Structure 1
Amino acid sequence: MQNKKIGGFLLVFFLIFTTACEEETFDIERFGSISGIVVDGDTYEPLQGVLITTTPSSNAVLTDEGGTFQLEKIKDGDVVITARKKDFLNGTINVAVYEEENTAVTFFLLEDENNVGSVILSDPVPGNGAVNQDLSFTFSWNVDQENPGIPLAYSVFIFESNSTVQDLVGENLPTNEANVTGLKPNTTYFWYVVAKYEGRNVANSPTWTFATGDQ
């Protein structure tokens, strides 16, 4: 009887150990890739030497003479891509990376003319990654100013996925909202906001994304 108990215990232990090994074996990291282009937001000319980094971190790369870049072996999931170049405002885009698929992005960088202290544009409506949006609605965002007494104006840009040109939704707006109309159904859009003081660029938001519904 004692031998049977020992044998049964060893069998249970073996099954637990085997199951744990199987779970660990199937916990495999999956990777995709990211490609993109960075252009001047005013002239649409490609920008060379832009530093591209990601969060979670991966290999940092510089754009080539055509403004393009490629990031290989990016772990699947949500990734924040940042573009930095001297004398330009930083650009950021949050994207989803899928296994064995390439995600294409476009950055429009504007010259940095900041002389009014820190300005942070955040909390977009619709939220980043929103889906089934109407073909006409109102954008809004939050503004956090280091010097809140300085009056800012806002310009809002929108562009379709994989496009290297953009549309101006609103220019020199006195408040942090803009109306957008005439959108296409079942389309992914990207949009961002530029804050200006006396016509000079002082901050830009991350590039946010949303998708319209079947309307």
Structure 2
Amino acid sequence: MKTMFTYFRITALLTIISLCFIGLSCKENTIQPEFFGSINGQVLSEENSTPIAGASVTTTPPSNAIITGSDGRFNFTDLAVGNYTVAVSKNGFKKGSVTVSVKENLAADATILLEKEEGNISPDIPFDPVPANEAVNQQINLTLQWRATDPDKEDSLLYDIYLYDSNSPSPVKVASDYTDTNYVVENLNYNTTYFWQIVVKDTGNALTNGSIWSFKTREIPDHNIVYTSRMNDNYEIFSVSNNDTSSLKLTDNSSRELWPRFNPNRTKIAFTSDASIEPQIYIMN
């Protein structure tokens, strides 16, 4: 009986000691609250304190990148409290930065003065493309448009234009030393993604490569009428629909293509051609 009592005493004592160790090893985990503030600022020219538009503004620690508007202003919101370095870059100016302290529910002010670079300065990157980048449902005949500026206001600009589709092994230059910011392209393929790029150079031969933009042409029209029209002493086949006034040229040969007819499902067109001297019947998809 005494032995059994001693056993229970030892067991109880060990249990108490274990609970004490568990209690000592357990600590309460606390979550520190985060506080946020913002940065409001403006980028100005050191020379005359005029606002600088189109400047790229970033922060360290990183947040997002902002491009200044016409008033040179920028705004970073929802920044965790702490110290930040605000860095600014703009073509034609030396880079600038400033360190600010972000405090809870307050907006820190940051004014950054940029010093203009000396000598000939490269043109700015072309912008405002038309069609807009990644535009879809574009016509097969359209006008490419863009805008470009140069920090050296007296410089005139020339453009090399590249245009190619997604199957091209390399970019294709379609114009060199072009002087306008509008370029007409015609007879593109339907339902095709095209890429285009503007390379701009100034009178001092400083060169800037533009971004590569893209657009996709419209689907092939669902035409229900085919006909022949005379062009350059030949007859070519065209298609059109009752609801679409724009016609689609289906042939472009030195021979005479005549009498086009749809099959019942309008998936193929039969026509005659004298491409082999004697008129023969041909079928196109």
Give the greater-gyration-radius structure (CA): 2
Give TM-score, length-normalised by structure 2. Answer: 0.36
Q: Which has the higher contact order (CA 8 A, sep 6+)?
A: 1
Give TM-score, length-normalised by structure 1. Answer: 0.46
